[in-house]
Amino acid sequence: MGKPNFTEDIKVDKFNLDEECVNQSERFCYWAEEYSESVSERDELKNKTEILRAQLDKKIRINPESYGLEKVTESAISNLIFLDKGYQKLLEEYRESVKSVNILLVAKEAFNHRKSMIEILAKLLLAGYYSVPDTKDREELSSERRETAKTEVLNNLNKKRKRKAITVGGENE
């Protein structure tokens, strides 16, 4: 398993809170499944590593002379097992899987934070945080700020319309 990357999925578009709310559970489920699969992979690799260790231990104890041992000690057996290339390879795979599990654990936590952030942004929107004040201060806003805000809103509306048109056009075919 490669290194998981959830940085794009964790972002919240504050101008599309309706879509963010709808997509939150789907995104969370995807990364929760990735976490679960990663934990299973890690546990399987740990089991394979322990089995190989036991097999190597048994081989060494049965015929210590073929491994260059005159005296069989726990330390000598452990050292020989650790030097085995197959064991080292499995151990490295296990370490990588532990790393993936830890990253995906962070992803799960980040999606809980994302959910909270969406809730906070929705409350801010409902409270009028993103609205333009309806007082005489409104006239004092620079025309550049108003134009930038207007352009941003229009761009977001156009994006939504295009997505909707694509969705509707795809269903009619």
| DSSP assignments along the chain, one per residue | -PPP--HHHH---TT-HHHHHHHHHHHHHHHHHHHHHHHHHHHHHHHHHHHHHHHHHHHHHH-GGGGT-SS--HHHHHHHHHH-HHHHHHHHHHHHHHHHHHHHHHHHHHHHHHHHHHHHHHHHHHTTTTSPP-STHHHHS-HHHHHHHHHHHHHHHHHHHHHHHHHHHHHH-
Show the low-confidence residues of the chain (pLDDT under 50). Answer: 172-173
Structure tokens at 93: 């795979």
| pLDDT value of residue 133 | 63
| pLDDT value of residue 81 | 94
- pLDDT, one tens digit per residue, over 75-87 is 999 999 999 999 9
- Alpha carbon distance 127, 136 (integer Å): 20
| pLDDT value of residue 59 | 94
| pLDDT value of residue 38 | 95
| pLDDT value of residue 149 | 73
CB 98 within 8 A of CB 42: yes
Q: Is the pTM of this model over 0.85?
A: no
| pLDDT value of residue 173 | 41
Measured CA to CA in angstroms, residue 35 lies from 24, 28, 111 at distances of 16, 10, 12
